Amino acid sequence: MKLHPVILRLLPEDLRLRGLARLQAQSRRAREALALSCEASGVSLGPLEKGDRNAPLPFRGTFWSLSHKPRFVAAVVGPVPIGIDIEEITPRTEGLLDYIASTAEWALADLSWETFFRFWTAKEAVLKTVGVGLAHLTKARIHAILDPDNLIVAYASKLWAVRHFRFQDHIVSLTHDGHEITWNLVLEPHVLDNPVPVPPQPQA
Ligand SMILES: CC(C)(COP(=O)(O)OP(=O)(O)OC[C@H]1O[C@@H](n2cnc3c(N)ncnc32)[C@H](O)[C@@H]1OP(=O)(O)O)[C@@H](O)C(=O)NCCC(=O)NCCS
């Protein structure tokens, strides 16, 4: 099965919200992205349930993952455990560099905020795939960088293939387990934003 991750931007009215209301809007929008990923993948999900540590539970063999940030959200479904993470590439405090990766990992790539978020999102995607949270961040290691869009993370005695997608100062990382990927970046209003009214049916 091909993977169809979907990236949506927040609706203009959601951008005006703050605090919990904004977080709820992001979460709602991420679920719209998930519905689109289902549509593109030809699968359906039942109620979105969570298990230990708030990890998404699969529905009849379909796994799902989502991520929501202040301006964009990303979501994906797949036939195997899967993890997606999106971040805006923006300078952070330098103290975080040691938190995200070791000296040996940093030696694998140029030191930049782009690399920082590449590593961060790749590790988060893997930790989401396994269903554990950020507490395990230091146990996940960048094992190899294959090319600008692909790297390998080592975690829990396994190697995890991660693919990146970049757009508008954002980076998305996705664990793919060898599956083909079609990225769907929806910047224009989608049918979900403007539902088309169903015309009245002719009376018999
Ligand atoms: C998973 C986690 C790394 C994501 O953090 P983040 O980068 O701030 O948030 P993102 O927007 O990228 O992702 C949020 C989504 O990740 C998913 N998620 C949450 N916990 C998850 C987990 N343990 N495994 C996989 N996915 C998880 C959820 O779908 C969540 O969105 P939702 O709450 O709207 O459903 C972080 O929430 C975490 O460390 N969670 C574990 C905390 C924990 O152990 N809690 C135990 C008590 S419930």
**196 found inside a domain:** no
Q: Is the predicted pLDDT of residue 192 greater than 60, yes or no?
A: no
Q: How many CA atoms lie within 13 A of 9 on its CB side?
A: 15
The confidence score (pLDDT) of residue 198 equals 47
Note whether residue 174 is domain-resident. yes
In a domain, 40, yes or no: yes
Q: Which amino acid is at 23?
A: L
How high is the pLDDT of residue 160?
A: 98
Using CB atoms within 10 A of its CB, is residue 192 exposed (0-12), middle (13-18) or buried (19+)?
Answer: middle
Q: Is the CB of 133 under 6 A from ligand 1?
A: yes
Residue 202 resides in a domain:
no
Please give the residue range of the domain that contains residue 103: 6-186
Q: How many Å apart are CA 197 and CA 98, to the nearest integer?
A: 53
pLDDT at 11: 93
pTM: 0.92
Number of the ligand 1 atom closest to the C-alpha atom of 86 = 12
CA gap 155, 11 in Å, rounded: 36
Residue 84 CA to residue 104 CA, distance in Å, equals: 25
Place of tokens 């289902």: 38
8 Å CB contact between 116 and 96: yes
Q: Taking residues 120-142, what's their average pLDDT?
A: 95
Report if residue 126 sits inside a domain.
Answer: yes
Residue 136 has pLDDT above 70, yes or no: yes
Q: Are 76 and 4 in contact (CB under 8 A)?
A: yes
Q: Which of 10, 23, 57, 55 is nearest to 186 (CA)?
A: 10
Interval between CA 185 and ligand 1 midpoint (Å): 22
Contacts of 96 (CB under 8 A, 6+ apart): 116
Which pLDDT band, with edges at 50, 70 and 90, does 202 fall under?
A: low
CATH number (domain holding residue 149) = 3.90.470.20
Report whether pLDDT(145) > 90: yes
- Ligand 1 pocket test target in 14, 20, 50, 53 with most atoms within 8 Å of CB: 53
| DSSP for residue 138 | G
pLDDT in tens, 65-109: 999 999 999 999 999 999 999 999 999 999 999 999 999 999 999
In-domain check, residue 203? no
Instruction: Determine how many CB atoms are found less than 10 A away from the CB of residue 56.
Output: 21
172 burial level (CB within 10 Å; 0-12, 13-18, 19+): buried
Q: In this model, does residue 38 exceed pLDDT 50?
A: yes
Mean residue pLDDT of the chain comes to 92
Integer Cα distance of 152 and 107 in angstroms = 15
Ligand 1 site, residue 55, Cβ cutoff 6 A = yes
CA 127 to centroid of ligand 1, rounded, Å: 9
Evaluate whether residue 129 is within a structural domain.
Answer: yes
Is 90 exceeded by the pLDDT of residue 195? no
21 domain residue, yes or no: yes
Number of domains into which the chain is organized: 1
What is the tens place of the pLDDT at every residue in 154-172? 999 999 999 999 999 999 9
